[in-house]
Amino acid sequence: MDTVRINPEVQQALKENRPVVALESTIISHGMPYPQNVETALRVEAIVREHGGVPATIGIIDGIGVIGMTTEEIEAFGKRGMSIPKVSRRDLPVIRARKSWGATTVATTMILAHMGGVKFFVTGGIGGVHRGAESTFDISADLEELGRTDVTVICAGAKAILDLPKTLEVLETKGVPVLGFQTDELPAFYTRSSGLKVDCRLNDYEDAARIVLAKHEMGLTGGILITNPIPEEFSIPAESINAVIDQAIQEMDEKGIKGKECTPFLLARIAEITGGESLASNIQLVFNNAAVGTEIAKAYSELCK
């Protein structure tokens, strides 16, 4: 049985050295309700196409990693929603052996994208070191994957619910370049700035592409993290969103929620408290990342001709 199934359009684009952009499926199954989840996923794909790229939404169907889900498959993911389990690296053997469906996290999207030869992946925000990790040891597998898998990830920073300074420290330890697209500071997901410095500011798309190419030419393993701030008009003031996050984390602790259930609970609760404002911001930052990520992938393809 094949490990992955690559959409013919994606396969042809890779063969012709055209820009292909991977997209995750957890945002479909766990990110928002149906049909908004499907509408958002298809809009992200459309943005990739508008910027000259080929989208490759990745999910697991009947134990097979699908690189470039069809509209019908995305629709099926949206309807099944949270009944589809989130799948990280540790879950892959079970999902494959049982021929189950799985929603890919940042980590598994990177793994499957790399298997299919896709070098760029756009998402909302990565996982990282959770607050209180010095007691719980709760650290996302996304950081481990960034340290080992050769995929460039374009996002709006790590999710704001995390301990951002500790997340940066782990990325540094794992040798992951953290770059800011036209910014010197790490974006904080819902807000444009965290007060934390990135390793390097990227001036434009070609600047980013040249750094990715240089890493590949040097044979360095692991990913690159390109952080792209949320557009100003959709940014939420730091003091407002941090108060909401603190409330959501307190409620999570009181309920005893732990592990991979933390992030879905927190994002959903934050959306409830903000009256949907945080979800609207989340969607807009993904749209923005799709545009920027595709332009970087396109610049990379031009350099490789």
- Selected catalytic residue, list 75, 159, 295, 298: 159
Comparing C-alpha atoms, which of 30, 11, 21 is closest to residue 52? 21
Q: Are strands 64-67 and 178-181 parallel, antiparallel or unpaired?
A: unpaired
d(CA 257, CA 269): 13
Catalytic residue check, 159: yes
Distance of CA 223 to the CA centre of its chain: 13
C-alpha to C-alpha distance for 23 and 273, rounded to whole angstroms: 28
Contacting residues for 101 by C-beta, under 8 A, at least 6 apart: 59, 60, 61, 62, 77, 80, 84, 85, 95
Q: Are strands 152-155 and 54-61 parallel, antiparallel or unpaired?
A: unpaired
Name the token pair of 76.
Answer: 């099926």
Task: Choose the catalytic residue: 24, 45, 75, 295.
Answer: 24
| d(C-alpha 81, C-alpha 75), whole Å | 10
Asked if residue 129 lies in contact with residue 143, where contact means CB atoms within 8 angstroms, the answer is yes
In the annotation, is 298 catalytic? no
Q: Is 108 exposed, middle or buried (0-12, 13-18, 19+ CB in 10 A)?
A: buried
Return d(Cα 285, Cα 287) in angstroms, integer. Answer: 5
Instruction: Count other Cβ atoms within 10 Å, centred on residue 112.
Output: 30
Q: Cβ(119)–Cβ(18) under 8 Å? A: no
18 touches 9 (CB < 8 A): no
Give the separation between CA 77 and CA 66, rounded to whole angstroms.
Answer: 12
Catalytic residues: 24, 159
